[in-house]
Amino acid sequence: MHIEQLYTNCLSEAAYFIAHNGEAAVIDPLRDIDQYLQLAKEHKATIKYIFETHFHADFVSGHLELSKATGAPIVYGPLAEPSFTFLQAKDGQVFSIGGLSLQAIHTPGHTLESTCFLLSDEQGKPYCLFSGDTLFVGDVGRPDLFSGNLSKEELAGMLYDSLNSKIKTLDDSVILYPAHGPGSACGKKLGNETHSTIGAQKQFNYALAEQTKEEFVAVVTEGLATPPAYFPLNARINAQGYSDMNTVMESGLKPCSVSEFKEQIANGALILDTRPATVFTQAFVPDSLSIGLDGRFAEWAGTLLPFDRDMILVTEEGKEKESVTRLARVGLDRVKGYLQGGVAAWQQAGEDTDLIIDIEADELAMDIPFDQRMEVMDVRKESEFDAGHIKGATNLPLNLMMDPLHLAQVDTDHNLYVHCAGGYRSVIACSILKREGFHNLRNILGGWTKIKAEKSIPIVEHNGQKV
């Protein structure tokens, strides 16, 4: 029996490969399917089934691509109604993979069609549960994501029933393999591990504590942040279908000369620069939007980029394919090529570049007493800001910065000192501000981590006390 978790950090997403006696199954695959085909080849196994735990909202699944490549049927649980051919599992239905068995357990709550899959070994003993977004390490799937006209309270009530009647009844030794790990927006606050056991979750997961349904509904629906704007679009793509990945790659990997690149810009293409934040600030093509591959790239791309507009890329050499692939994972398919030779080619052609001034936290400390036109812009989440911030800082979370109504509140006459937690989000924010005509910018290197270590900067902590 071979079980492999394939974890993608920038999406906090886990897909799974199972193989036994020449047969295999894949659970919740990503759109770029080569890794699953390679694993099947290595294990001399035929992919027999593709299991989907639900219609994912945070990434575009590879179910259609993998089914086309292998002929394996796509399996969803009860209540799923995609617009393509699939196999609808009944609650309790068992599928064989070699000498193993995989049982569908319908667990509505995160979404109506949410289904877990319980894998039993050759002796028929339950071994592990692929829980999708029904149960995470330390958390459960949020009940407010796009399930018809049901309220989050109604879905949370369903989730309570699913957990108590079907999940908590499993043996403590059953391994838990969820679809997401820490950082995912599909739950409120997932634990640091990407797998656990049912027994450990019964002991430590607040959602599996002994409580009434009313208590459960209250705690699960409390404090839910607004989901990323691309979630409903990705859920719809997964249910309705998408473009062939080969077509997407062919378009996105077209090398463009400087003149061809400029022509794409003239035709309305958005310039996306995927180089590291610290490289981007030194020199970039004017009006570029920075989202570096070195951070939570796919999540921020899905949150900030338009799905109805062509894009043209600037990347580090050799990172073109990775950039196009990771954009496609969240359904951003309209890439029309990349700048051949990158920023160096742009400069060699005599074209102007722009830059963003980086400063250290100690430079900020020296400027605070003297710069009367200073505005510190904190682009972290509201909860991060509330836990501690620079005295007098303005909080404008990055996910809101593409909204003209929010940017309209920023004074163009101020000197903007921008920071996040560590320096990744602040560069994205500065690139947005540059595109909108804000040029009096300073990006604070190291962000809040370095700021709070600088003792001379006035800080407001979560309890309101100044230090």
Same domain for 106 and 163, yes or no, is: yes
326 located within any domain: yes
- Residue 145's domain comprises 2-233
Q: Tell whether 376 and 416 lie within a shared domain.
A: yes
pLDDT at residue 404, rounded to an integer: 83
| Count of CA atoms in the C-beta half-sphere (13 A) of 164 | 14
Q: Which amino acid is residue 206, in one-letter code? A: Y
Q: Residue 233: which residues within 8 A CB-CB, separation 6 or more?
A: 307, 331
Asked if 72 and 202 sit in the same domain, the reply is: yes
- Please tell me whether residues 157 and 38 are part of one structural domain: yes
pLDDT score, position 466: 52
Q: Which tens digit of pLDDT belongs to each residue from 119-151?
A: 999 999 999 999 999 999 999 999 998 667 889
Question: Among the three residues 285, 313, 348, which one is the final residue of a domain in this structure?
Answer: 348
Residues 119 and 33 occupy one common structural domain: yes
Entry pTM: 0.91
Check whether residue 267 and residue 375 sit in a common domain.
Answer: no
Are 170 and 150 contained in the same domain?
A: yes
Residue 353, domain member (yes or no): no
Q: Does 466 reside within a domain?
A: no
The two most distant CA atoms of the chain are separated, in Å, by 74
| Same domain assignment for residues 168 and 256 | no
Under a CB-based contact definition with an 8 Å cutoff, are residues 132 and 115 in contact? yes
CATH number of domain containing 202: 3.60.15.10
Residues 121 and 86 placed together within one structural domain of the fold: yes
Domain count, the chain: 3
Rounded alpha-carbon distances, angstroms, from residue 38 to 23, 41, 66, 179, 406: 14, 5, 12, 21, 46
**Structural domain contains residue 319:** yes
Q: Is the residue at 259 inside a domain? A: yes
Task: Note whether 144 and 78 are same-domain residues.
Answer: yes
Look at residue 148 and tell me if it is in a domain.
yes
Are residues 265 and 283 part of one domain? yes
* 238 within some domain: no
* Domain at 394, CATH number: 3.40.250.10
The 441-444 sheet, strands edge to edge: 358-359, 441-444, 415-419, 374-378, 394-395
pLDDT at residue 410 in the model: 84
Does residue 180 belong to any structural domain of this protein? yes
Gap between the Cα atoms of 374 and 413, Å rounded: 9
Give the pLDDT of residue 185: 86
Query: Which residues of the chain fall below pLDDT 70?
Result: 146-147, 463-467
Stretch (H or E) spanning 303? helix 297-304
Last residue of a domain, one of 194, 210, 233: 233
d(CA 125, CA 105) in angstroms, rounded, equals: 16
> What gap in Å lies between CA 96 and CA 102, rounded to an integer?
6
State how far the alpha carbon of 249 is from the alpha carbons of 34, 297, 314, 327, in Å.
13, 18, 16, 11
Clarify whether residues 45 and 166 are in a common domain: yes
Using the 3D structure, point to which of 189, 212, 233 is the last residue of a domain. 233
